[in-house]
A and B are shown apart, each in its own frame.
Chain A
Amino acid sequence: DVKVTQSSRYLVKRTGEKVFLECVQDMDHENMFWYRQDPGLGLRLIYFSYDVKMKEKGDIPEGYSVSREKKERFSLILESASTNQTSMYLCASSLGQRYQETQYFGPGTRLLVL
């Protein structure tokens, strides 16, 4: 079974703090993704990576950066957290480039920025 893990299930941070969300997958997947989920908006793609050290902006990259130094690990960084970044963050991975491949998701991190 594919396993995608996220470093925290719940996180509380203060405005202006630097926040790191970590994601690890154990199936040698090429692609990794970070989404945020907000009620009524579904999931929106923040950043994704299709290879080590490669990254591409998704639909809402403002205020976020990412790092992929190893194939199995994809980090989401909030350089200076703001209250409008309070959300559920979901990490996902997928194997390769065939478009019928599904994405496998981690359990999510609920981030509250005070």
Chain B
Amino acid sequence: AQKITQTQPGMFVQEKEAVTLDCTYDTSDPSYGLFWYKQPSSGEMIFLIYQGSYDQQNATEGRYSLNFQKARKSANLVISASQLGDSAMYFCAMREAPRGAQKLVFGQGTRLTINP
């Protein structure tokens, strides 16, 4: 069963607009962590932001914020004031604790294109 679902294969956004990338997850474990990564065309995965299941506030890192809705099991990434350099693949991932031995489960990814 798919544990992480990203329903948007591709998104096209005008520069300077805000972007929301969707991610829903499925777990019965009360302790888990959610991660977002960016993959530019160069190929390497870049860590963006982390949200723990017990964190009281939504995570923020610069222009990135995570809209965490625990009851809905969603962890959407919000990018404010998008830039051309934000064009990339974006992956949502989850780690279930304590089992899983640090394994991450990834979604299918969303390809974001920022238009000038």
Interface residues, chain A, with chain B CB atoms under 8 Å away: 9, 31, 33, 35, 40-45, 48, 50, 56, 58, 88, 90, 92, 94, 97, 99-108, 110
Interface of chain A: mostly helix, strand, loop or mixed: strand
Residue total for B at the interface (Cβ-Cβ under 8 A): 32
30 contacts between A and B (CB under 8 A): A9-B43, A33-B103, A35-B106, A40-B9, A40-B108, A42-B4, A42-B91, A42-B107, A43-B45, A43-B106, A45-B103, A50-B101, A56-B101, A58-B103, A90-B43, A97-B102, A99-B32, A99-B33, A99-B95, A99-B96, A99-B100, A100-B33, A100-B50, A101-B102, A102-B35, A105-B44, A105-B45, A105-B46, A108-B44, A110-B43
Provided the pairs A48-B102, A99-B95, A99-B98 are in contact, do residues A88 and B43 lie with their beta carbons within 8 angstroms?
yes
Provided the pairs A102-B35, A102-B50, A105-B44 are in contact, do residues A43 and B91 lie with their beta carbons within 8 angstroms?
yes
Q: Evaluate contact between B106 and A99: CB separation under 8 angstroms.
A: no
In the complex, the 10 A-B pairs of residues with the closest C-beta atoms, listed nearest first: A99-B97, A105-B45, A108-B43, A42-B106, A43-B106, A102-B47, A42-B108, A107-B44, A31-B102, A99-B95
Q: Which of B6, B43, B102 contacts A99 (CB 8 A)?
A: B102
Q: Is B27 an interface residue (CB 8 A)?
A: no
Q: In the complex the two chains form, what is the Cα distance from A41 to B106 in whole Å? A: 9
